[in-house]
Amino acid sequence: MSGNDSLQPDRGVLRILDIMKGVRELRTLDAILDRLLLEARRLVRADAGTIFLVEGDSLVFSYVHNDSLFSADDVTRYVYRDARLPIDASSLAGHAARHARPVVIDDAHALPPDGDLRFNASFDARAGYRTRAVATLPLIGLRGRVVAVLQLINPLTDAGATRRFAPDDLAVLELLADQATAAIEAGLVTEEFILRMARMAEMRDAGETGAHVRRVGAYAAEISHALSAREGLPTREIKRRKDMIRLAAMLHDVGKVGITDEILGKPGPLSPDEFEAMKRHTLLGARLFSNPASEIDAAALEVALHHHQRFDGTGYPGRVADPFADTVSGNPPLAGNDIPLAARITALADVYDALVSRRVYKEPFPEEAALAVLTRESGRHFDPRVVEAFFAIHDVILAIRQRYREQADTGTG
């Protein structure tokens, strides 16, 4: 982009139509936010950006890009930053949400201390970044309610220098904002539907909390991303797989709705007969997706059925010819790469979260002890490649744990 380095509105309309076509192919809220933020940045060549979602009277930090600090294609802990802002004048995003109108400034650090706008420079100070030009746009839904806030930072010239946001930039960004809101609302509906299904299991099993399924979904998604990147897959395929496994992993234990309260709530070890009955939750979960209408349904079936398989073939339910069978006993073993990859990834994510979480029958493992279990079980319970990918992004795993803490630990859920 030469001249004013901005995208002309008429070209922007065609670009936005193409962007939204791609966004509509996505299913998870995280994938939608990631793509929208990436495309918004590309429209104006912004170096960085953030999307905040509105929850009650707060803005929740929901997705971030910053090309000066990390690539948008990387696995990064910054995506799971645990932060909230009040919807008030104490921040640019809060101001935009409160007044439902854009806020555009040329230099965040030059705002007058006695003015109406406030810029929180704490992230800049911690990361060694320099925020200058900022465009903050509220995303307003059909009911006139602010659903999210899109904030873009430091648009660049062809030479890579920071510039101001031009009027044409704002015109195309507002066009994108109008379209993006519907996609975000669709993602919120999908996520809420998944969480409601998980809550059905939670009503029967206190270990299946909303925070647990969010963590397992996020662990699995990021492990998948790291593993796919190591194998050199194209970025689009990496993110497609990541989109599917996040939802599938969140539904891994939905079959527990068919297990009795006496078994699910038992504080001590299960008897052999009780454990045999518990194993059936894999079959019950698979039955819910027995007529898959999409790739995500197919992935959810594989994960629900196979997330208790072990890499060495000693897990359950083994090779299943009919998920409507009454028992898992007697099936031939399933081992190694014959276990679907999504299930191998979810198996590690689920076991890790169980180890570090409090349950009615145990206290949480210290982190070091949990990591020792994963190391010891590499090649036995877990695919060694999945274990390696987990350890490669351990800082991201810890950020996910912090972001999705249990309600009793945070007071927020």
- Catalytic residue numbers read 256
Q: Which residues contact 363 (CB under 8 A, 6 or more apart)?
A: none
Q: What's CA 136's distance to the chain center, in Å?
A: 23
Q: How many helices (H) and strands (E) does the chain have?
A: 16, 6
Judging by beta carbons within 10 Å of its beta carbon (0-12, 13-18, 19+), is residue 251 exposed, middle or buried?
buried
What secondary structure letter does DSSP report for 326?
S
Q: Which of 300, 353, 294, 350 has the alpha carbon at shortest distance from 323?
A: 300
Angle between helix 167-204 and 29-44 (nearest 10): 170
Q: In a 3-state reduction of DSSP, which class is residue 394?
A: helix
Sheet containing 46-55, strands listed edge to edge, beginning at the edge strand earlier in sequence: 84-86, 58-66, 46-55, 146-155, 134-140, 103-105
Beta bridge partners of 66: 48, 70
